[in-house]
Amino acid sequence: MFLSNALRRIYFGLQDFLVGQVRTILVLGFDALLQTGNLLTFNRRFGYVIAEGKPGRGGLWPPFEAPTKADSRSPCPALNAMANHGILPRDGRGIPIAGLGPALCDTYNFSSSFAYFTLNYMAEMLQKSYAYDTFDLSDLLVHNGIEHDASLTRYDVSRQPDQAVPAQDLVDQLLASATGRDKQGNAMLTFADLTRFSTERRDHSRATNGQYTLSTFHKLFGSSNTTTLITIYGGRVDDLAVILKEERIPDGWEPRIRSRNGLTIMGMNATVLPLEFGIKERRGPRTVRLT
Ligand code: HEM
């Protein structure tokens, strides 16, 4: 009995592992095709990044309503903003996982490969079926699922238990760290700013949070989120203040990624890896100042 149980577990474990590996290879192969398509085609025109008939076309976003206490919200400003504009259910509940992918592609010009990859990971993390299940935005609050310490828009969970709301003063510090300027003189966050601020956040958490954890996976996921502030959102401080503090999409805004097939995993990695490798955080044993 014991042996047959053990063998069954090993068999199913191995099967899951192999299916996962094959799926990853197929998604990455498809992603490479989409990226090649992006390189061989012209970008979408300014003002036309969002397709005809989709919310946000021409910068016209559905009305914003701030969430009520009863609504379900996540630690992700991008998903919360979609609910705040009614692109996702305004109460943030019962969102079909498979249905979120197309909505992400339409709203932020994410590639279908990237949306599938992330949502499939999310479904596994939440022990749900990608194809058949729904989730609530607050399901993403699970600590060290995808949500992690040393974020740029939320203090660590040990200090700020409700990760669904942005830490206004932290976002102010992030935006105040911007050193760039665009041609019109608008303040812009640069990759160097994000590298510096991410380093400071990790060092600060390490020094002050006795429960601080940040695995390599979470570092990479965190840096992926961070780079969207420039790649998808465009880095303009005026826009980011609205997006990150109110979780609202500014009137007239459209995704800064204009490629035909959207932001691919490959395209994203071109910015994530340099950012992550640029972060020179303190390492080794640490002394925690409990304040
Ligand atoms: C599959 C869809 C997505 C999922 C499941 C997801 C999930 C998450 C989670 C759990 C966090 C919290 C991470 C932390 O603790 O810092 C987060 C943060 C974030 N996400 Fe998303 N996200 C998704 C799509 C997007 C998209 C499309 C964008 C950009 C348009 C985006 C931008 C961000 C940003 C800027 C943060 C804040 C990072 C920080 O505070 O350091 N996310 N996301």
Q: What is the pLDDT of residue 6?
A: 87
Q: Going residue by residue through the chain (291 aa), what tens digit of pLDDT does each one get?
A: 778 888 888 888 888 888 888 889 999 999 999 999 999 999 999 999 999 999 999 999 999 999 999 999 999 999 999 999 999 999 999 999 999 999 999 999 999 999 999 999 999 999 999 999 999 999 999 999 999 999 999 999 999 999 999 999 999 999 999 999 999 999 999 999 999 999 999 999 999 999 999 999 999 999 999 999 999 999 999 999 999 999 999 999 999 999 999 999 999 999 999 999 999 988 776 766 665
Say if ligand 1 is within 6 A of residue 140 CB.
Answer: yes
181 DSSP assignment: E
- % helix / strand / coil in the chain, to the nearest 5? 50, 5, 45
Q: Which atom in ligand 1 lies closest to the alpha carbon of residue 154?
A: 40
The CATH architecture one would assign to domain 2-278 is: Orthogonal Bundle (1.10)
Buried b (16+ CB within 10 A) or exposed e, 204-228: ebbebbeebebeeebbebbbbbbbb
Say if ligand 1 is within 6 A of residue 218 CB.
Answer: no
Half-sphere exposure of 65 (CA within 13 A, CB side): 13
Our CA angle for 224, 264, 247, nearest 5°, is: 50
Q: Which atom in ligand 1 lies closest to the alpha carbon of residue 141?
A: 10
Distance between Cα 116 and ligand 1 center (Å)? 15
Distance between Cα 75 and ligand 1 center (Å)? 7
Say which amino acid occupies 97. Answer: I
Q: What is the pLDDT of residue 291?
A: 56
Q: What is the pLDDT of residue 285?
A: 67
Tokens of 190: 């640069």
Say if ligand 1 is within 6 A of residue 201 CB.
Answer: no
Can you tell me the distance from the alpha carbon of 239 to that of 165, in angstroms, rounded to the nearest whole number?
Answer: 18
Nearest CA to ligand 1 atom 42: 78
Say if ligand 1 is within 6 A of residue 137 CB.
Answer: no
Q: What is the pLDDT of residue 183?
A: 96
Work out whether strand 180-181 and strand 187-188 pair parallel, antiparallel, or are unpaired: antiparallel
Q: Which atom in ligand 1 lies closest to the alpha carbon of residue 146?
A: 10
